Each structure stands twice: as structure tokens, then as C-alpha cells.
Amino acid sequence: MRTQVVIIGAGPAGLLLGRLLDNQGIDTIILERRSQDYVLGRIRAGVLEQGTVELLDKAGAGERMRAKGLVHDGVEFCFDGDRHRFNFRELIGRTVMVYGQTEVTHDLMNARDASGAKTIYEAEGVSLHGFDSDSPKVRFGKGGVEHEIACDFIAGCDGYHGVSRASVPQDALRTYERVYPFGWLGILVDKPPVSDELIYAHHQRGFALCSMRSPTRSRYYVQVPADEKVEAWSDARFWDELRRRVDSETAEKLIIGPSIEKSIAPLRSFVAEPLRFGRLFLAGDAAHIVPPTGAKGLNLAASDVDCLAEAMTEFYRERSSVGIDHYSARVLSRVWKAERFSWWMTSILHTFPETDTFGRRIQRAEFDYLVGSEAAARSLAENYTGLPF
């Protein structure tokens, strides 16, 4: 087999890159380790920055999102029971869209199927070869048969545990990491959300988040210790804990019901540098991880592949390697700003085992500063709705 770009991973990064390249007439094959149903079943991100929304439109995959997504003008922070709304539209004239990652993935898969571009699911033992030369190859197994694809470029869009970053010689890679001593226990419920907008709550018992997927489907999270087991959390225990962490009005309004999904996600900050090794490029979670507090992971995957698609298009159209030469530096400059914002949101909203009374007063001062200063609120708004691509 031969193609121009082999994309490893059919998450949002891989599928969106495939779509953007397809629109430019560049031939791609996506190799995905899991089945299509498995990929579609993963419940993850829920908030799209304005730039991601515009990119999905540009990619020709935004129609269903425009019809079903919920435009949110702002979010609320609740600090030890005191609630404050930040109106992004008023502060900076920008908004976000609540539209699940599952839906984005579904739309991109449908667009890819309609265009006839090739995706190989359940590809086993994917391995990368010769990306330091002009003729890279990717090998994989399918149904007991070994295959090889010759290509011009490999895009590693295979997430944090993928094979692409692991294939780079260790001495060519620098990594930066922070692992937080807690995770998020999340549940999905077929009941209307407690509020029209998201509520991020800081409480001495730990962080909580009230989010949603649609007017009839809610998503809630509570901070739990990193080694917590999901089996220890009945629905009743979850609702009880959530109620204790939000303000009393929100607690009373919660519409509870049986969870249809319940899982714990660890929190981590991670960046690999650089993001290009010859003809291999890393994008999305393969390149960097943010804690979910700032709602940035999926959005970073989108801005990475926007930049990569542009660079590859320039290579094929103009025979210029300027774009691909600058990919790593361009992407990393935006990535680090999102890392900073996600770390900051995590720091002010969570309870850390080591935080003493001084640390708690500093967290409170951060909240009071955001509430009292338009400059601070505008900075929050600018980062939450997304820095320019």
C-alpha cells in the first residue's frame, strides 16, 4: 500500500487532520487500534473553544454541531458556596460551545466515510519505520495478515499511551510532567442539567463540576484521591458528595437519577519537545496532556492539527518545507500557554493534600481578585474561550 500521509489514531486529532488534508486533496490512511464502536463509546470532553467551532465549520463537519451544540456565553465559579458568573460575551465578545467529544468524533467519522477516505480499525501492532529518511513506512497486522504502507509523512495522533512518541529515540525527546495527587470521578445522567451554564466549584472537601451534554443529559464530576476505586462510589454517595461541594441553591436544584456512565480520570500535565522527528509529527494527546479543568485537551488537539494540515498543504502545493520546519515551535508556543492556564485553573479550584491555611487563603484571594477585577476576569475569559490559533 502507498499513501501520502499515514495518520495513527482515530481520535479527534487524527480524524480532524484526515478531514483537513482530504479537503486539500491529500491522500491519507488512518490506522486505529480499537474498533469504531469503542472509539465512539468513550465519554470525554464537552467544551469547544470558538476557534475549534470555526475549524470544524471550515472542515465541513460543523453542521450537526451548529444544530445541536449549546452556545454558552459564560461559566460560573463557586467558592465555598459563593457563586459568581463570568460573562465571556460581555467581557471579550467570545463564547464557547458545549458539544460532546463523542459527537465531534461521530461527525468526523461520517464525513470521512462519505469522502471514501480509508480508515483501518482494529489495526494490531502498529510500528513506525524510517521516519528519519524520505521514505517512511508503517507496518501493522489485521486479521492475522501483516501489511506495510509506504508514505511521505507519519502523523502520530495516537494519544498519551500511543506508539508514535514511544518510537522516537529517547535522547531526541525532552518531557515535562506534573502528576496531580487526585482524579475526577465523573458520571453521566439522563436528567436536565442543574444550570444553563457550567459551574466550577471549589470546596474544602474538594473540587466539583456541574456540566452537561444536552438539555436532557448532565455530566458531573467530583475530585477524588488518585488511588480511589470507582466501585466505592454508589450513585447515592456521588450525589451526596456533589451536594456538599456546591452552594445550597444549586444543591437543592440538582435533578438526580441513575448514572449511565461512571469513571475516574487521573489528572496530569505533560509536554514532549520537540514535536517533529524527520517525517514524523506528534499532535494532540500524543504530544501533550492537560488536566481537564481548563477544558483544553480536545481544543489543543484541534489547533495542533490545523497547523499541521496547513504545513503539509504548503509542502505539497508549494514544495516548501517552511511550514513543517516551524510546526513544532509554533504549536508548542500555544501549547505552553494552555498548559499554564490548565495548571492555574487546577491550582485555584482543587484541594491539595499539602495546602495549608496560607495556601487556602491564597486560593480565596485568587477568586476574590477574579470577581473584583475586570482585567482578571477578561484574562480568564480570553484563555477559557481560547487563545488565537
Q: Of 12, 72, 327, 350, which residue is the catalytic one? A: 72
Is 268 a residue that touches ligand RFL (CB under 6 A)? no
Nearest of 214, 155, 183 to residue 10 by alpha carbon: 155
Nearest of 307, 351, 341 to residue 155 by alpha carbon: 307
Which residues face 223 on adjacent strands?
184
Catalytic site residue 384? yes
Minimum CB separation of residue 57 from ligand PHB in Å reads 21
Nearest residue (CB) to ligand PHB, 173 versus 265: 265
Segments in the chain forming alpha helices (H)? 12-23, 36-41, 50-58, 63-68, 88-92, 101-115, 163-166, 235-245, 248-253, 297-318, 322-349, 357-372, 374-385
Q: Which position among 5, 6, 7, 8 is part of the footprint of ligand RFL (CB under 6 A)?
A: 8
Whole-angstrom Cα distance, residue 289 to residue 297? 7
Is 100 a residue that touches ligand RFL (CB under 6 A)? no
Minimum CB separation of residue 295 from ligand PHB in Å reads 3
Whole-angstrom Cα distance, residue 261 to residue 251? 21
Whole-angstrom Cα distance, residue 212 to residue 207? 17
What binding mask, one character per residue, do residues 32-71 give for ligand PHB by CB under 6 A, x or -? Answer: -------------xxx------------------------
Task: Work out what residue 34 binds among ligand PHB, ligand RFL, none; the CB cut-off runs from 5 to 8 Å by kind.
Answer: ligand RFL
Nearest residue (CB) to ligand PHB, 122 versus 228: 228
Segments in 125-234 forming alpha helices (H)? 163-166
Is 296 a residue that touches ligand RFL (CB under 6 A)? yes
Catalytic site residue 99? no
Is 291 a residue that touches ligand PHB (CB under 6 A)? no
Find all residues with CB under 8 Å of 37, minimum gap 6, and list them: none
> Where in 192-251 is the site for ligand RFL (CB under 6 A)?
none
Q: CB-side exposure of 346: number of CA atoms within 13 Å?
A: 25
Nearest residue (CB) to ligand RFL, 18 versus 159: 159
Task: Work out what residue 61 binds among ligand RFL, ligand PHB, none; the CB cut-off runs from 5 to 8 Å by kind.
Answer: none
In this structure, what C-alpha cell is assigned to residue 162? Answer: 500511543
Whole-angstrom Cα distance, residue 168 to residue 286? 12
Phi/psi at 208 (5° precision)? -145, 150
Nearest residue (CB) to ligand RFL, 211 versus 250: 211
Minimum CB separation of residue 252 from ligand PHB in Å reads 22
Catalytic site residue 369? no
Amino acid, single-letter form, for residue 300: L
**Residue ranges in contact with ligand RFL by CB under 6 A:** 8-14, 31-34, 39, 44-47, 101, 123, 126, 157-159, 162-163, 184, 186, 265, 284-285, 292, 295-299, 301
**Residue ranges in contact with ligand PHB by CB under 6 A:** 45-47, 198, 211, 219, 292-293, 295
Residues annotated as catalytic (active site), given as ranges: 72, 200, 292, 296, 384
